Amino acid sequence: MKETVLNKFLRYIAIDTQSDENSNTQPSTAKQLTLSKLLVKELKAMGIKDAALDEYGYVMATIPSNVKKKIPVIGFIAHVDTAPDLSGADIKPQIIENYNGKDIVLNKEKKISLKLKDFPELADFKGKTLITTDGTTLLGADDKAGVAEIMAAAEYIMKHPEIKHGTIKIGFTPDEEIGRGVDKFDVKKFGADYAYTMDGGALGELEYENFNAASAKIKIHGNNIHPGYAKGKMINSILVAMELNALLPVNERPEFTCDYEGFFHIVHIGGSVEEASMQYIIRDHDRKKFEQKKKLIKDCVDFINKRYGKDVITLELKDQYYNMREMVEPHYHVVETAFKAMKLAGIEPIVRPIRGGTDGARLSFMELPCPNIFAGGHNFHGKYEFVAAESMAKATEVILNIIKLYAEK
């Protein structure tokens, strides 16, 4: 299994599938379809006849049940796109077999290394097979590790008809990294009763709680007057932006929060005296606190506008996704089954809230309860990303165990 999933992973990361938040198309980049078409081809080669790619970039496929009794239809989902944060093109993975537990040189020329002092979790992988970047791109384990794991599990099931199972649904989505992963996902067409996203991080992670999320886009309309004659007339958009940011609580920034603590995160600021723009993401696991955070940023905008006596600031506040917990808990067996599947694979489950979101969060609110399972990667969205082949093999084993456990119920 380790060799199978590793070979698939290396094949998939060779394809650039970076999504683009500035695009208005679905999917946001045509290059994502290159991998999606390959996946359909491979699924059909396994004997999964209905594998298909639709006009929106979704791959869906079905492995029919081979038992007579009624078993819940279980889906497994991963996303093909990689994050816009760093290039996903021309990836040159380094395969480190029997890792010695020391610092890893990613790029000797650029003096970039994975250092134990910065990433102490590396010590846990001594003796394992690690796949890293060369320090110039991301790796793509988010979420091509998940894609490879689902594909490896599907191949195993198709090669072993003696394994009893219900109907299994497979789904691959585009544009998850830019928050549009399930914008046009047809839950009814997919046909699963319950599903799992293979989009978590470290070995053992099992998540059914995530942030409530909103975005705040702010435009500031200043008044640029010759500085020699500006008294009482100039409104400097740059200073207004700084003033607004100073009104938000310092201790509610990402660098000062963890666990269930939410935050305001400024992700963009720019402009001139005349015009400026800002963008925040707002996050909190607690729905009440989430609503309070949204109200606070509205109140800050209102305060600035009253201060300057005009609509200097305009605010576009948009909810992005919600905490899946309220939709998953009524079907808690999906969590319990994943928990048991990990135990059977010799893995100690780590149940923790996601300090982010997944396609599964939105799917859960589309009436498809969908917890998130580890894919095995670390340091997503950057040059220090790495994954262990053994972790991917274990994730594949967990998928197979979930399938078997539902068939036994």
Closest CA to 46 of 68, 61, 32, 65: 61
Tell me the C-alpha distance between 362 and 359, whole Å: 6
Please give the backbone phi and psi of residue 339, each rounded to the nearest 5 degrees, phi first.
-60, -50
**Closest by Cα among 231, 321, 220, 206 to 268:** 220
Query: To which H or E segment does residue 8 belong?
Result: helix 2-13
Pairing assessment for the beta strands 194-200 and 372-374 based on DSSP bridges: parallel
CA-closest candidate to residue 182, choices 22, 380, 364, 373? 364
Structure tokens belonging to residue 406: 């539902």
Integer-rounded Cα Rg, in Å, for the chain is: 23
Phi, psi for residue 363 in degrees, rounded to 5: -65, -35
Q: How far is CA 64 from the centre of its chain?
A: 28
Residues with active-site annotation: 81, 176
* Distances 152 to 2, 76, 139, 306, 396 between C-alpha atoms, Å: 9, 12, 19, 59, 7
Cβ-based neighbours of 347, under 8 Å, separated by 6 or more: 203, 204, 394, 398
The pair of structure tokens assigned to 397 is 């084993």
Pair 341, 401: CB distance under 8 Å: yes
Q: Are 171 and 75 in contact (CB under 8 A)?
A: yes
HSE of 15, CA atoms in CB hemisphere, 13 A: 22
Distance between CA atoms of residues 86 and 248, nearest Å: 29
Which two structure tokens, joined as six digits, stand for 108? 């000797």
SS3 at position 100: coil
Beta bridge pairs of residue 113:
105
